[in-house]
Amino acid sequence: MVVKHVVLVSLKPEVPSSKIAGLADTLHGLSAIPGVLSVDFGETFTKERNQGYTHALIVELKDRKALQVYIAHKLHVDSLKNDILPIVAPGRFLVIDIEDPAPARARL
């Protein structure tokens, strides 16, 4: 069953757009990790209901085993430590993982 790893963050207001663009490139590179089906990252455009979160990362993975591989993979660990956490506002990092029995691609 496909797993979706959903990360919501609030970036510090002083983070320059060039740094965010670099982060997007880094995060899209996570698609090289075995079992990753897709990686999406972007800024919310619904400011009135975002509860302060500014950006989302959604990683679609083959299954729960692929999620465990992803979590432990050096690319993920390094990007979390070096690229994401240093620019996230304190206490503004939320992660959930869900199983999707019918991913969007299968419904098309």
Tens of pLDDT along the chain (108 residues) come to: 999 999 999 999 999 999 999 999 999 999 999 999 999 999 999 988 889 899 999 999 999 999 999 999 999 999 999 999 999 999 999 999 999 887 556 655
Q: What is the pLDDT of residue 105?
A: 61
Domains of the chain: 2-100 (3.30.70.100)
pTM for the full model? 0.90
Q: Which two tokens stand for residue 20?
A: 């965010």
Residues 6 or more apart whose Cβ sits within 8 Å of residue 101? 1, 2
Are the CB atoms for 70 and 61 separated by under 8 Å?
Answer: yes
Angle, alpha carbons 28-30-35 (nearest 5°): 125
**pLDDT tens sequence across 8-29:** 999 999 999 999 999 999 999 9
**Chain centroid to CA 46: how far?**
18
Question: How many helices (H) and strands (E) in the chain?
Answer: 4, 4
